[in-house]
Structure 1
Amino acid sequence: MLELAILGLLQETPMHGYELRKELATKLGTIRAAISYGTLYPTLKRLQTAGWITETEADQTIVPPMTSKRGRVVYKITAEGKERFADLLAQAGPETYDDAGFGVHFAFFARTDRATRLRILEGRRRRIEERREGLRDVLSRATGRLDAYTLELQRHGLEACEREVRWLEELITNERSGRAPSGAADSHDLPADPAGDASPVFPRPHQDRP
């Protein structure tokens, strides 16, 4: 998933390591823990070895001549890297239905074809429905054995699943009808128009108001 995110960001513009880490945190911060340099740089090295990205030096004009000081390294995606990114976007297997996998793919839905978006949304809905039914089963069998706080936590998880299922069903309906998400104008809550250029941020499911 980190590979997909890096290639997607570099397809927008070349970046150095600090910028990449910052943009990854911005785009994926709601679904991943902070990405360390110890995770980022080995991944960048692997992408370079595969020929999917390359590096150049920026700010060379301010580096004094005849010194060993190195300009800041900037990473750029290659033509092969763009092909790899497209291949990763087209994947819609079980790993894209889990929390992290779904979040990263959703962040690049604006660049994903409609059929793939629909397969991922439907797979995610099935996954959350399974989670919801499991929580319902726990609540029905163990209510009398759970303390009040554990019971409340299980209920909270069940409500979150029910909200996400409703949100996914709305997105699926929109995809099937060819419409943009109904709340697309609210950029922090739903993805950008699939026909637009901006990459969306993985949203938080709508909160029900009493």
Structure 2
Amino acid sequence: MHGYELRKRLNLMLGWGRVLSYGSLYPTLKKMLRSNLIEETTSTTAATSRRPRIVYQVTDAGHREFERLMSEVGPAAWEDDTFDIRFAFFSSTDMEIRLRVLEGRRTRLQERLERVQQQLQMTQKEVDRYAAELQRHGVESVEREVRWLSDLINAERNTPPATAPRGIPTAGPVADQQ
């Protein structure tokens, strides 16, 4: 698909908490082109188009790299910067890997929650009401995510393995002006 459509779909898939800018999308696409993970073609679609549109398509090497990345487990898989993206593609991931990533994320958040609660006890008397309210909000957000992860883990363990198709979800080429 083209860059505009790719950005739109990724932003929709990742939700409001994470927005992919063109300033990060196009340099990443260029890097992926140099690594032969994607290829680009140009097309002219309509008479109204002033210039050719660039369409990106995942190569076989790109599919293999995606499979490799989605099979990795470890701290990078459950960190704040990468967890949402990885989670968005969980349907392309083996159940055991999903469980390890979810459990890793939950453990990381539980450790963070413990540290924050200890710090709160030490600083509670030193902060004004708004700072205290912000801290309380942060703690409740992490507690909510830990519960959500626990529910996901339990559902994953209680669901028989599905025969979901593996790999990157594909769509037909879509053109875009760059």
Question: Does the TM-score normalized on the shorter chain lie above 0.5?
Answer: yes
- Structure showing greater relative contact order (alpha-carbon pairs closer than 8 Å, 6 or more residues apart): 2
Q: Is the 8 A contact 1:31 1:100 kept in 2?
A: no
Q: Does 1:25 align with 2:7?
A: no
- 1:132-181 superposed Cα distances (whole Å, 9 cap, x missing partner): 1112112221211111111111111111111111111111111122269x
Distance 1:153 1:28, change over 3 A: same
Partner Cα distance (2:48, 2:141) in 1: 53
Give the SS at the match of 2:56.
strand
Q: Is the 8 A contact 2:44 2:51 kept in 1?
A: no
Give the SS at the match of 2:40.
strand
Give the SS at the match of 1:74.
strand
Cross-structure match for 2:176: none
2:22 to 22, 37, 58: 37
Letter in 2 for 1:133: E
1:102 to 67, 83, 91: 83
Partner Cα distance (1:79, 1:99) in 2: 29
Give the SS at the match of 2:20.
coil
Partner Cα distance (1:62, 1:40) in 2: 28
2:69 to 84, 88, 94: 88
Partner Cα distance (2:83, 2:103) in 1: 11
Partner Cα distance (2:69, 2:102) in 1: 16
Q: How many residues align?
A: 168
Q: Does 1:164 align with 2:164?
A: no
Structure 1, unmatched stretches of 5+, are 1-14, 181-192, 200-210
Partner Cα distance (2:89, 2:17) in 1: 14
Give the SS at the match of 2:73.
coil
Moved over 6 A (4+): 196-199
Partner Cα distance (2:13, 2:127) in 1: 38
- 1:104-124 superposed Cα distances (whole Å, 9 cap, x missing partner): 000001111101100100000
Distance 1:57 1:63, change over 3 A: farther
- 1:32-90 superposed Cα distances (whole Å, 9 cap, x missing partner): 2x3332321121111111111111122357489xxxx6410100111111111111111
Q: Is the 8 A contact 1:96 1:102 kept in 2?
A: yes
TM-score normalised by L of structure 1: 0.72
TM-score normalised by L of structure 2: 0.83
Letter in 2 for 1:16: H
Cross-structure match for 2:33: 48
Shift of 1:100: 2.5
Partner Cα distance (1:121, 1:36) in 2: 27
Partner Cα distance (1:40, 1:98) in 2: 21
Partner Cα distance (1:49, 1:144) in 2: 55
Structure 2, unmatched stretches of 5+, are 170-178
